[in-house]
Structure formats: structure tokens, C-alpha cells
């Protein structure tokens, strides 16, 4: 009797395994072929930022970061439209249409994450995100040391030490206080971060 009780589960297990074809048997006939156009592009290498500096742009309250005479690597700009002034951060690296990510900026005693998305600038999709000017997260850019900006798939960009980002952020905050004198400055609501 003991032999029958052990043999029955083994027989049932063998029958169930026989119902399913092996993983390599005509896979294309059993499943839809993946559409590779829906996958992310290959990651790009981290750029060399040796000698890169922050420089004023032709647009007021905007800085461009890069090596002199080369294509820019990043930019920060003050946006004063509406009642929620903010800082726009752009990473000049190709992004896939519709892509979203968290950009990590680490340095100056801070570790911050900012949501970014692919934004079409008319020639390509680039990584961009904004943060309210009142956000303490921006302190990561206001220190005297360099920082690292990382976006998944776009590599890590070293932002060399400079006082220019701090000066721009302070100028933006001052402009926001002047633009909205009746308020306590930029939007300080709990949702500001």
C-alpha cells in the first residue's frame, strides 16, 4: 500500500510535466515576439568633464555647463512664470521619447533626487526636470564643492566646483521675492517639494 501512495504523486507530476513543451520548443509560435522599439536605448558612457565650467547664457538667469568651445553638458535656468518659480535642470544627453527617471545629484553633504523626463527641444529629446526655488533640495548645488549628477542610462556627469550655481539660485530667489512681494516668496506650500 505504501508503494501506491508514493507512486501516485510521481505519476501525476510526470503527466503534468509532459503537458508543457520544453522552453526552447518553438518559442516564437507560443509567444508574441517582443517589439524591440519599446525598449530603452543603449546606455551612454559618462562624459569627460575635465576642464568644464559654468558660463552665463545669452538667456538671463541661465547657466550652461561644459568645456569651452564644446557642446554643453548641462544647464540650469530660473523660470518665473506663474506663482511657482522654479529651477529647470537640463542634462544634454539623448533620452527616449516618453522616458522618465530620477536624477540623483550627490555632493556638498547632500544626496538629492529630482524627477526628470524626456523633453523635445526641436532637435532631440533631452533630460529635463524642475524643482521649486523654495526647495531645500537645491542646496546640493549651492555648496563650494563639486557634485555628481547621475541619470540612469545617461551616465554620471561631474559638475566641477563653482560658486556660479549658488549665485544663480540666490539671484532667482531674490527675483522671485521681488516678483511676488505680497507673498513670503516662492511657493512654500507643503507640495512645493
Q: What are the tens digits of pLDDT across the range 65-77?
A: 999 999 999 999 9
**Residue-averaged pLDDT of the chain:** 83
83-96: pLDDT as tens digits: 789 999 999 999 99
Sheet with strand 100-107: strands edge to edge: 53-56, 62-66, 74-79, 86-94, 125-132, 110-120, 100-107, 147-151, 155-159
30 vs 119, residue with greater confidence = 119
32 vs 98, residue with greater confidence = 98
Examine the pLDDT at 148 and tell me if it is beyond 60: yes
Examine the pLDDT at 4 and tell me if it is beyond 60: no
10 vs 25, residue with greater confidence = 10
33-51: pLDDT as tens digits: 555 556 667 878 889 999 9
187 vs 101, residue with greater confidence = 101
Distant-in-sequence, close-in-space partners of 117: CB < 8 Å, separation ≥ 6: 95, 99, 100, 101, 127, 128, 129
Of residues 141, 133, 129, the one with CA closest to residue 86: 133
Rounded average pLDDT over 186-190: 45
What pLDDT, on a 0 to 100 scale, did the predictor assign at position 145?
A: 94
Cα–Cα distance for residue pair 136/150, rounded to 1 Å = 19
Rounded average pLDDT over 154-164: 96
Question: Which CATH code, of 3.30.70, 2.60.40, 2.40.50, 1.20.120, is assigned to 53-192?
Answer: 2.60.40
- Domain ranges for the chain: 2-34, 53-192
Using a pLDDT cut of 90, give the percent of the chain over it.
62
Q: Residues 137, 141, 145, 148: what is their CA dihedral angle, to the nearest 10 degrees?
A: 80
CB 88 within 8 A of CB 77: yes
Amino acid at each position: 500500500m505504501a508503494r501506491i501512495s508514493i507512486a501516485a504523486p510521481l505519476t501525476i507530476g510526470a503527466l503534468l510535466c509532459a503537458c508543457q513543451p520544453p522552453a526552447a520548443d518553438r518559442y516564437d509560435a507560443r509567444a508574441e515576439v517582443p517589439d524591440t522599439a519599446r525598449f530603452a536605448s543603449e546606455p551612454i558612457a559618462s562624459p569627460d568633464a575635465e576642464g568644464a565650467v559654468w558660463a552665463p547664457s545669452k538667456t538671463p538667469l541661465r547657466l550652461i555647463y561644459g568645456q569651452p568651445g564644446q557642446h554643453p553638458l548641462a544647464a540650469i535656468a530660473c523660470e518665473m512664470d506663474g506663482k511657482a518659480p522654479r529651477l529647470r535642470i537640463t542634462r544634454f544627453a539623448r533620452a527616449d521619447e516618453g522616458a522618465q527617471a530620477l536624477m540623483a545629484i550627490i555632493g556638498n553633504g547632500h544626496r538629492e533626487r529630482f524627477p526628470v523626463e524626456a523633453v523635445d527641444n526641436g532637435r532631440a529629446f533631452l533630460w529635463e526636470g524642475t524643482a521649486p526655488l523654495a526647495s531645500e533640495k537645491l542646496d546640493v548645488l549651492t555648496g563650494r564643492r563639486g557634485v555628481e549628477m547621475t541619470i540612469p542610462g545617461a551616465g554620471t556627469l561631474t559638475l566641477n566646483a563653482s560658486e556660479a550655481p549658488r549665485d544663480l539660485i540666490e539671484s532667482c530667489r531674490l527675483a522671485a521675492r521681488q516678483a511676488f512681494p505680497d507673498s513670503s516668496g516662492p511657493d512654500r506650500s507643503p507640495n512645493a517639494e
